[in-house]
Amino acid sequence: MSDPDRPAGTGRLMTVVAWAALLFGLWLWGREVTDVPMGISGGPTTGDVAAVGRPAEADLPPAVKPLTGALPQRIDIPELGVQAPVVGRGLDAQGAVDPPPFDQAGTVGWYAGGVKPGAVGTAVMVGHVDTETRPAVFYKISTMRPGETVRVIRDDGKVAEFTVDDVRVLPRAGFDAQQAYGSRQSDRAELRLITCGGTFDRTSHSYTANVVVSAYLTGTGL
């Protein structure tokens, strides 16, 4: 999160380091170098910001049949008041996914080399948590709770409606790419929203964790 006591000029360096760690995890996951099995069990990994896993009593809707692939154009998160454009991002020269530019902190990046939102599998979207001067698009996603809604407006005119079923804070040390990006159920259309979290480490100029919001397709609209 934003740190009002952060020395001037360190914000951009912090963001670069944080994105490098996150996107390196995605790069490894895409190359299937992890030996963690598919599927996640147990509660969430705890971290430095408020986040919860699925409560035992959560009454969540059933998953619906995945859609055919289409490109995402916008993401809406009603509970957070977020309405943001989505842009596809590819790999940079180092083999990591390019995040949205620093001057587009209100834009969400979708990993275009992966699953399209609404299609079977796990679609991954990333956003900045803050900049040197203000909160960014995913500043509040650590406050999301199971049962809340994420809508992705697609270029085929359909709206993929996802229900949050899990929020985790994964420590940067020993970052588990499979736990962050792997499908929870192989036959569902799933979505991950990911940003930086935890506390700001002034020594490494990076956040100590990543916030990972997991959701699955529960409805479609036009």
Among 199, 184, 209, which Cα is nearest to 22's?
209
pLDDT in tens, 81-123: 999 999 999 766 655 556 788 789 999 999 999 999 999 999 9
When the pLDDT of each residue in the chain is averaged and rounded to a whole number, the result is: 78
Three-class HEC string of 183-206: CCCCCCEEEEEEEEEEEEECCCCE
Please say if the pLDDT value at position 138 is more than 50: yes
The first and second tokens of residue 117, run together, are 């939102």
Query: Domain boundaries in the chain?
Result: 11-221
For residue range 55-86, list pLDDT tens digits in order: 545 689 999 999 999 999 999 999 999 999 99
Across residues 190-201, what is the average pLDDT?
88
Q: Is the pLDDT of residue 4 over 70?
A: no
Q: Please check whether residue 167 is in contact with residue 58, taking contact to mean a CB–CB distance below 8 angstroms.
A: no
The class level of CATH for 11-221 reads: mainly beta
**Beta carbons within 8 Å of 97's beta carbon, 6+ residues apart:** 23, 26, 27, 89, 90, 91, 109, 111, 113, 126
